[in-house]
Amino acid sequence: MKSFKKILSLSLIILNIFISVPFALTNDNLELNWYFVKREQGKTPEAPKESISFLKDCDGFYVGDTNSKVVYLTFDQGYENGNTNIILDTLKEEDIKAAFFVVKPYIKQEGEIVKRMVDEGHLVCNHSSHHPSMASIRDKDKFKLEFTEVEEEFKNLTGKDMPKYFRPPMGKYSKFSLNETKNLGYKTIFWSFAYKDWLRDDQPSESYATEKILNGVHPGAIILLHSVSSTNTKILKNIIKELKNQGYEFKTLDELPTA
């Protein structure tokens, strides 16, 4: 009986090793979805509990300087809906510099708009070549290609190197993907405010969107808007003016805190 118990105990130990080792090897590859936990108005939202422990080490940002009334305005450019030049007009009139995250097809199809962004001092940043979940790509060469194809297209168009900021498509990521992004020299830019603005045929009202955005702003906010939104385009100037009236300053991703 004692011999049987020893064998059983040893078997359980071996089984635990085989169960835990694969988990340890694959846990960093677990696909996560970015979200933020909103607190009371004007307070910094909380980051996801799943990734807060490693976000900073992976050069991941969802807020900037939370000790000052500053905001960072960013747009995701999946495709063109006729709004971006109007948005750029507004930003120029208000002397605001923003970051535009673009995919490779956008650069190819909307070269004049991209060149205008650059010429007017905005950051044109990487949003991947094919808009996949980066957490789903385990092959390092394929992972890198999602970055380099966009970089090459951008440089061919503008003659400039692309700024090293990356927004994961759909907000999907893993610890592995964040580390690989960092290894490619990029900072990962999430957000501390976003709302449902990307459905072209189901746009929120201007009053709803204005209230939603203004209530979601806080010191150090990285604001994500989608340029396909006709509502965003219409209310952008008023949003900017109101935030300025509240004492907010607009900064660029180049001015994110380094410590």
- Return the CA Rg of the chain: 21
**Structure-block tokens of residue 258:** 């380094």
Asked about 119 being catalytic, the answer comes back as no
Helix or strand or coil: residue 8? helix
Amino acid code (one letter) for 200:
R
Catalytic one among 122, 127, 218, 226?
226
Is residue 117 exposed (0-12), middle (13-18) or buried (19+ Cβ within 10 Å)? buried
DSSP label at 46?
B
Q: How far is Cα 186 from Cα 166, in angstroms, rounded to an integer? A: 6
Catalytic one among 59, 76, 127, 218?
76
Q: How far is Cα 85 from Cα 51, in angstroms, rounded to an integer? A: 36
Phi, psi of 166 (to 5 degrees): -130, 135
Q: How far is CA 153 from CA 73, 103, 110, in A?
A: 24, 10, 12
Asked about 226 being catalytic, the answer comes back as yes
Task: List residues bridging with 250 in a β-sheet.
Answer: 71
Catalytic residue numbers read: 76, 226
